[in-house]
Structure 1
């Protein structure tokens, strides 16, 4: 292969705190994961306890965890290449080409569930993953670092048009963090698309199931709170994989390079922090009254309805603006030839899907009660993430659509929460 000597297009504006953020985040976020998991396993469950529950180094490594993580990524890689499902094209790249993607994430989830059921029926102690959670997280973090290093080095052999506009600042720390190459591939195997929805997302529900099995070992049956958390989050993952094709138009795929930020988020942050509620309930069980259960289910249902309906409307409009389900919606023309929705869900607030996401996140935490803030870490973090993501999207849309975006903002003044934000 020939080293790419063409100078790529560059953006001087840095995100996520620039070089300082790119230096600190890869250090402090992995430590945050390990700290949160350690706190979950303590009887007090307090985030600010003193002395902090720092794990002994001997409990951070287990060869079995390395085998499990390696085997898990290998299994999902094999399922990703399994010839089922359909092949879809992504959005046009800067050189006018479109990459093809194997859409079979839901099939991978179903096949994983069958294999998992077989393992449990053969007596495999799935609940043991609770005891291995720290070594598993350490191994996932190490894989994230190694993958990010491979991506950074490999990006210097990529053609200029394949590089992400925001990942070529010339600063190695920042470019390693944010990602230089937009869609790195090994043959037809798209590394970013694979990591986005496969090992981490499916691993999240597997770890949730392991927490439920651990609770069965300790108390003979799963609690209603544990069943709610598992059910809600399984629905979320199933929806993401059933609608896997929609991810091809998201900011992660279309705009962001693939570096440490996404690699760590996909492989370590998602499976080990999104399911903190289930782990918390293993050590801190909760009983729920029937009215409380009904209220939590209704809240999750409302969030899911808003999330799915708004995303479906947007995706249908992008695929076919003349489809009968969206043809009646009011739009604003832009200089790029695209049109912005100003009615329907997207005339309600600018990001109705984010509103649904936040409502669901709250419903996932409520089964854990109000005695600890730890189970609410996800909804707090995710709300901050969505506000930041909305601000990034706002900057890009204003630069892309100009006066049309200003007109849209006047028509739809609220960003995520109507009459509040």
Structure 2
């Protein structure tokens, strides 16, 4: 019994060691090493190795393939750098488009970021410019440059995050700015919540919305046109590649929905809770366009056209459109309730809410509402459920020809399940027993009766 009084101290020491060394240093370092190599490796396998995973795994080896991928990069490729710089410049211009002014959720220290609702306008104008240009000019060579573009995005993203880190240290913007003095963690997680470039350019919106996501759209369009040039136009086959066309349309539907409801995104965990560092900034610069476009890149040369025709395309497009619409509906229900302070109708009935209170960083008690109507009475994260179902539908055009098109679904599954746990912890810390009350009334996170 002599050592018993020291036990809590030892546990606390172990907890601090885990938090400081593993969770805040080694884990971020591991992620920052693995993710850049992963997206370049996969792009190289698809474009250069013709998606031959078996050869890479059992003949060439992953190490040799990855080495070849980095050696093949042409860092002075002006065309790739022009795409990156052009999208950044166009994104900055779009943030000055006229639109309805609105605010993001307040931070614990009382700051509320201002935005202009111009996302959908940006998307429509960008598509009206991009689609005719991609159709008119030959861009098959750009398909073969995708690994090179991704390598440049990787380096650009790392450099951008260095600038973000220095900016947060030297001249942070209003809102939350946390510095832990752990350089690795601060670089990975970020130090600012709402970094800006001047008064009108939100760096989060610029990189997340106007750069990374639309670059995903451009790669999807490039893949479709590359397939057209490679097979249909070259060999005068005259038929539609339904698997790739369906995938391209699903990407467009998903992103059109996102830009149309961009104000809902600004209330999400990414926009209103997570700091802006490698995790978000580099992720949107390089990982989103590099990893999310795997389906499109794979289907350029490996579409199962004999087994996926018009009927299959219509079924998949209908399901994808339905899940995208339902995701939009779930987000709008929550946003509408917040905007009206619980004085609105959902599904034809007055909303039910919990009038919750929380204490901000200055000890001031504030009030908000926790929605318990509509989809938010079915499960606590039905938006995540429909998001996951949409990700599953995105895999369907590839059938079971390869595991590559299913990588995004696997990633989104892990991301969403982890995010439900993060959201649960964040809400419990904020609302305490009032959140416990909501969880008793709505016991399931995503799937009623299951999870």
* TM-score, with length taken from structure 1: 0.90
Does 2:275 correspond to 1:243? no
User: Separation in 1 of the partners of 2:22 and 2:339?
Assistant: 32
Partner of 1:133: 146
Q: 1:146 Cα shift?
A: 1.0
Q: 1:411 Cα shift?
A: 1.6
Larger Rg: 2
Which of 139, 143, 161 aligns to 1:148? It is 161
Partner of 2:375: 345
Greater relative contact order structure (CA < 8 Å, 6+ sep): 1
Which of 336, 345, 349 aligns to 1:316? It is 336
User: Would the alpha carbon gap of residues 94 and 342 (structure 1) be closer, same or farther in structure 2, given more than 3 Å must change?
Assistant: closer
Which of 94, 97, 109 aligns to 1:79? It is 94
Partner of 2:412: 382
Partner of 1:37: 43
Alignment RMSD (CA, Å):
2.3
Which of 209, 217, 228 aligns to 1:205? It is 217
Structure 1: give runs of 5+ residues left out of the alignment.
1-11
Partner of 1:113: 127
User: Would the alpha carbon gap of residues 118 and 304 (structure 1) be closer, same or farther in structure 2, given more than 3 Å must change?
Assistant: closer
Structure 2: give runs of 5+ residues left out of the alignment.
1-17, 233-238, 359-366
Partner of 2:425: 395
Q: Which runs of 4+ in 1 moved over 6 A?
A: 12-16
- Residues paired across the two proteins, number: 406
Partner of 2:112: 98
Which of 81, 86, 95 aligns to 1:66? It is 81
Which of 28, 33, 46 aligns to 2:53? It is 46
Which of 349, 352, 360 aligns to 1:330? It is 352
User: Separation in 2 of the partners of 1:176 and 1:196?
Assistant: 17
Which of 274, 278, 284 aligns to 2:292? It is 274
Does 2:441 correspond to 1:411? yes
- What are the Cα deviations for residues 251-307 of structure 1, in whole angstroms up to 9, with x where unaligned? 122111111111111111111111211110012121204553344234323422331
User: Would the alpha carbon gap of residues 403 and 56 (structure 1) be closer, same or farther in structure 2, given more than 3 Å must change?
Assistant: closer
Q: 1:178 Cα shift?
A: 0.1
Q: How does 1:166-185 map to 2 (within 5 A)?
A: 167-185=178-196
User: Separation in 2 of the partners of 1:129 and 1:369?
Assistant: 26
Which of 246, 269, 285 aligns to 1:228? It is 246
Partner of 1:253: 271
Q: 1:217 Cα shift?
A: 0.7
Q: Is the 8 A contact 1:19 1:173 kept in 2?
A: yes
Q: How does 1:187-198 map to 2 (within 5 A)?
A: 187-188=198-199, 189-198=201-210
